[in-house]
Amino acid sequence: MTTQETPNMSLISLQNVQKHYGDYHALRGISVDIRAGEFFSLLGPSGCGKTTLLRTIAGFEDYDSGVVMISGQDMRGVPANKRPTNMVFQSYAIFPHLTVLQNVAFGLRKRNMSKADKIVAAETALDMVGLKGYGHRAAHALSGGQRQRVALARALVLKPKVLLLDEPLSALDRKMREQMQVELIKLQREVGITFILVTHDQEEALVMSDRIAVMFEGEIVQCDDPEVLYRRPNSKRVADFIGVMNFLPATCREEDGKKIATVAGLGEAEISEAQCPEGFPDGEATVGFRPETLTLLYEGQTATHREAPATIEEVVYYGDMTYYDVRFEGVETPVRISMRNIFGRDVLSVGSSVRVSWSPGALVVFR
Amino acid sequence: MKSLKTYAVFYLIFLYAPIFLLPLFAFNSSTVIAFPLESFTTEWFTELLTLSEMHGALLNSLKIAVTSAVLATILGIFAAMAATRYRFPGQKGIMGFIMLPLVLPEIIVAVSLLIVILRMGFSTGAWSVIVGHTLICTPFAIAILQSAFSALDPSLEEAAYDLGETPVSTFRLVTLPLVMPGIISALLISFTISMDEFIIAFFLTGAEPTLPVYLFSMMRFPKLLPAVMALGTILVVLSVLLIVIAEFFRRRGAKRTGSDAGGFL
């Protein structure tokens, strides 16, 4: 794959899409390209415009200006029932007066197929989502997870170019949700259809997506694959929204062409350009780092990079992991460190003095 | 607590005792409506069959009730959709005015309609009763249909549209079947209201009396009173039956869409 993208590589292309609800600016110039076969997520807190954007792609919402293209076709004026997209609704929107099979075959009604072929197609779709033999059940008698599967089958049976999922897992309990996450990824790989998922759950987005667009207040603030998003968030806000991020105050200066950050409690560190998504701040700055980039040093262990003394303030034991909140010398804000628990190694106790190993390369510098 | 219970019992007796007297005297062989009862008879019911004037009134009432119920329900569907599906300025005020006939004294509706009709140079008849009854039935139909429409998840309609249906076929395939119990319930309630209604019918019926108006005119002949009792008995039974059927359909609909929002019973 080349790094340069040609316009026809992207299945969906949004260019400067604007939308107002009265005085409220819901979408502020959204531009994004989504590739065919991609699992793409729109992630953000509630009210950030992610659902509005999804409904704009589906054709349920009109937009003020900008361009929405699907497979090279301008979607302006194309209603939802004429678009090559299908939607899985947050409430699933299963038709309660029909059977499961009738629900799944609903969209085939207008297709030029024999009745027998329609039934076969619907049953194949049900089989795909793990509901083989459920066809004759009444739809209103299904459980939440089953409704979710019927909604998926109902959309996938039409073989849309794009499947739009509006918070599809938010109504399920935790265990069911984790199971469905894995199933959805598998399903997406199997059918090869482009999935666009709307979610407010950053963990879900990280687990499922090829790429994630983080939205705040009607704007896409960062659009990257999960690893980049996690390791190199481009603003403090994104860093804070995705996973846990520690922040410490720092002062920055340039010396002999080297970029130096003096971090409170940690000391001096040489920073590369890539670690400064907002540009190198000369002077006051904030430095962010993930809990797993730090390690508590046990007796006899030496730091691979640098080390700093600290005191343990809080211990949260999770079985496989332990979270330590530590305080570096001379710093007010506690810092979270996550440690994998290893058999034969004791969990350290509150109040003990420890040495913490850290690496300058894991820091991200914000203005 | 105890006094509250006594109050409730007395209230129910006060409310229903007269209605229970109706069948009691309808099956009593004496022509005088008074205790003690004489012997059991179905004579008064057979007498009803011979009153051809009454048959005309019954037919009239049925025609009026069916027409008003259909009109009120159709108007109710539009109003309920406007109230639950759209937001527009002045919506609350408009809905309030539409619902006003619920509390407006019927005599005012009757007299003002009569004045308007006569002033416009029309003569009264079954059609004017239909106009009046549609007016008073529509708020009831709206109240029932509004609960049916608001219980309907709007994403169901969006899903049908998303799956390739047109707005019209979406209404036919999804909206209509899901609110059908509400529509049937609205039809039955409107029918019952129109069937029983007296004041508007009395003012606007002209030369073709409805059943309640005919019943009232029969009161002047003491000889016919037991037959009135028999007719009243039939009407009470039919009304209760219709309301029960209406409520059955409304509840079935509520169960299907998974929510129970309001209703009259």
Contact A27, A47 (CB under 8 A): no
Q: How far apart are CA A173 and CA A169, in angstroms?
A: 8
- Does position B92 have pLDDT exceeding 90, yes or no? no
Q: So what's the pLDDT on residue B125?
A: 83
Residue B72 Cα, gap to closest chain A Cα (Å): 26
Give the tens place of pLDDT for each residue, B19-48.
888 888 878 777 777 777 777 888 788 888
- Does position A88 have pLDDT exceeding 50, yes or no? yes
- Strand duo A211-216 + A219-224: pairing: antiparallel
- Does position A349 have pLDDT exceeding 50, yes or no? yes
Provide ipTM, 2 decimals.
Answer: 0.82
Find, in chain B, the residue whose alpha carbon is nearest to that of A81. B164
HSE toward the beta carbon, residue A81, CA cutoff 13 A = 19
**In terms of pLDDT, which residue wins out, B223 or B114?**
B114
* Residue length of chain A: 367
Q: So what's the pLDDT on residue A166?
A: 93
CB contact under 8 A, A96 and B162: no
pLDDT band at A144 (very low <50, low <70, confident <90, very high): confident
Average pLDDT (A291-308) is 88
Give the tens place of pLDDT for each residue, A325-339.
999 988 888 999 999
Q: How far is CA A31 from CA A4, A52, A218, A242, B59, in A?
A: 17, 14, 11, 21, 69
- Does position A70 have pLDDT exceeding 90, yes or no? yes
Among the partner-chain residues A80, A97, A140, the one whose CB lies closest to the CB of B162 is A80
- Does position B223 have pLDDT exceeding 90, yes or no? no
Q: So what's the pLDDT on residue B256?
A: 62
Q: Exposed/middle/buried for A210, CB within 10 Å: 0-12, 13-18, 19+?
A: middle
Give the tens place of pLDDT for each residue, A125-139.
999 888 888 989 888
Q: So what's the pLDDT on residue B257?
A: 56
| pTM confidence score | 0.80
Q: So what's the pLDDT on residue A238?
A: 94
- Quick one: what percent of chain A has pLDDT higher than 90? 64
Q: So what's the pLDDT on residue A208?
A: 93
The DSSP line for A102-118 is HHHHGGGTTSS--HHHH
Average pLDDT (B3-11) is 91
Residue closest to A154 by CA, chosen among B164, B179, B151, B152: B164
Chain B positions in Cβ-Cβ contact with residue A106 (cut-off 8 Å): 160, 163, 173
Residue closest to B265 by CA, chosen among B210, B196, B185, B211: B185
Give the tens place of pLDDT for each residue, B104-151.
888 998 999 999 988 988 888 888 899 999 999 999 999 999 988 988
- Quick one: what percent of chain A has pLDDT higher than 70? 98
- Does position A105 have pLDDT exceeding 80, yes or no? yes
Question: Which residues 15-44 of chain B have a CB within 8 Å of chain A?
Answer: none
Q: So what's the pLDDT on residue A206?
A: 94
Q: How far apart are CA A130 and CA A143, in angstroms?
A: 14
Residue B80 Cα, gap to closest chain A Cα (Å): 21
**In terms of pLDDT, which residue wins out, A10 or A238?**
A238
Contact A180, A169 (CB under 8 A): yes
Question: Which residues 240-259 of chain B have a CB within 8 Å of chain A?
Answer: 256-258
CB contact under 8 A, B163 and A91: no
Q: So what's the pLDDT on residue B258?
A: 52
First to last CA, chain B: 25
Average pLDDT (A222-226) is 94
Q: So what's the pLDDT on residue A257?
A: 83
Choose the weakest-confidence range: A53-67, A171-185, B70-84.
A171-185
Tokens found for residue B37: 């009862």
Residue closest to A148 by CA, chosen among A168, A173, A127: A168
Residue found under tokens 């003020």: A64
Q: What is the mean pLDDT of chain A?
A: 90
- Does position B261 have pLDDT exceeding 60, yes or no? no
- Does position B96 have pLDDT exceeding 90, yes or no? no
The secondary structure element, H or E, covering residue A283 is: strand A283-289
Find, in chain A, the residue whose alpha carbon is nearest to that of B174. A95
Q: So what's the pLDDT on residue A6?
A: 46
Average pLDDT (A15-19) is 93
Q: So what's the pLDDT on residue B262?
A: 43
Q: So what's the pLDDT on residue B264?
A: 45
CB contact under 8 A, B159 and A89: yes
Q: So what's the pLDDT on residue B253?
A: 67
Give the tens place of pLDDT for each residue, A147-190.
989 999 999 999 999 999 999 888 888 888 888 899 899 999 98
Q: So what's the pLDDT on residue A207?
A: 93
Contact B19, B236 (CB under 8 A): yes
Residue A238 Cα, gap to closest chain B Cα (Å): 31
Q: So what's the pLDDT on residue B254?
A: 66
Residues of A with CB under 8 A from a CB of B: 58, 60, 79-81, 85-87, 89-91, 93, 95-97, 106-107, 109-110, 140, 154-155, 158
Q: So what's the pLDDT on residue A33?
A: 94
Give the tens place of pLDDT for each residue, A247-276.
999 999 988 888 899 999 898 899 898 898
Q: So what's the pLDDT on residue B37?
A: 74
Find, in chain A, the residue whose alpha carbon is nearest to that of B177. A97
